[in-house]
Amino acid sequence: MKTLVLKINEKSPEKDKIDRAAKIINNSGLVVFPTETIYGLGASAFNVEAVKKIFKAKGRPNDNPLIVHIADKDEVYLLASKIPEVAWKLMDKFWPGPLSIVLKKKEIVSDEVTAGLKTVAIRMPQNKIALELIRRAGPIAAPSANISTKPSGTSVKHVIQDFNGKVDCIISSNDSEIGLESTVISLATNPPLLLRPGKITLEQLREFIPNIRVHEAVFGRSFKEKPASPGMKYKHYAPKAEVIIVEGAKDKIKPRIRELIQKYKIGNEKFYVVVIENPKKLARDLFKIFRICDGMGYKHIIVPAVDEKGIGLAVMNRLRKAASKTIIV
Higher pLDDT: 328 or 234? It is: 328
CA distances from 99 to 67, 74, 87, 138 (A): 11, 16, 11, 19
Q: What is the pLDDT of residue 18?
A: 98
Q: What is the pLDDT of residues 184-213, one digit of tens each?
A: 999 999 999 999 999 999 999 999 999 999
- Report the share of the chain in percent with pLDDT over 90: 92
Q: Is the predicted pLDDT of residue 114 greater than 80, yes or no?
A: yes
Mapping DSSP onto H, E and C, the string for 85-114 reads HHHHHHHHHHCCCCEEEEEEECCCCCHHHH
- Exposed / middle / buried, residue 242 (Cβ in 10 Å: 0-12, 13-18, 19+): middle
For domain 242-328, the CATH architecture is 3-Layer(aba) Sandwich (3.40)
Percent of the chain past pLDDT 70, that is, above it, reads 95
At 222 the pLDDT is 59
**The pLDDT of residue 228 is above 90:** no
Report the C-alpha gap between 102 and 124 in whole angstroms: 13
Lowest mean pLDDT among 36-50, 91-105, 128-142, 232-246: 232-246
Is 218 in a helix, a strand, or coil?
Answer: helix
Question: Predicted confidence band at 226 (pLDDT cuts at 50, 70, 90)?
Answer: low
Each residue's pLDDT tens digit, 290-309 = 999 999 999 999 999 999 99
CA-CA distance, 56 to 317, in Å (whole number)?
26
φ, ψ of residue 70 to 5 degrees: the values are: -125, 170
Which tens digit of pLDDT belongs to each residue from 160-180?
Answer: 999 999 999 999 999 999 999
Residue 62, pLDDT score:
87
pLDDT band (50, 70, 90) for residue 224: low
Mean pLDDT of 126-134: 98
| The pLDDT of residue 322 | 94
Mean pLDDT of 119-124: 98
Domain ranges of the chain: 4-219, 242-328
The Cα angle at residue 296 between residues 198 and 257, in degrees rounded to 5 = 65
Among 212, 144, 229, 205, residue whose Cα is nearest residue 178: 144
* Out of 67-81, 216-230, 264-278, 287-301, least confident range: 216-230
**Band of the pLDDT at 270, cuts 50, 70, 90?**
very high
Q: Please compute the mean of the pLDDT values over residues 314-325 and round it to a whole number.
A: 95
pTM: 0.94
Summarize the confidence of residues 33-41 as an average pLDDT.
Answer: 98
Region 246-252: mean pLDDT is 94
Q: Is the pLDDT of residue 126 over 70?
A: yes
pLDDT surpassing 70 at residue 26: yes
pLDDT the model gives residue 259: 97
Please report the pLDDT score of residue 230 as a whole number: 67
- pLDDT for residue 234: 59
Residue 175, Ramachandran bin (φ over 0: left; ψ between -120 and 50: alpha; else beta): beta
The confidence band for 140, taking pLDDT boundaries of 50, 70 and 90, is: very high
Architecture field, domain 4-219: Alpha-Beta Complex (3.90)
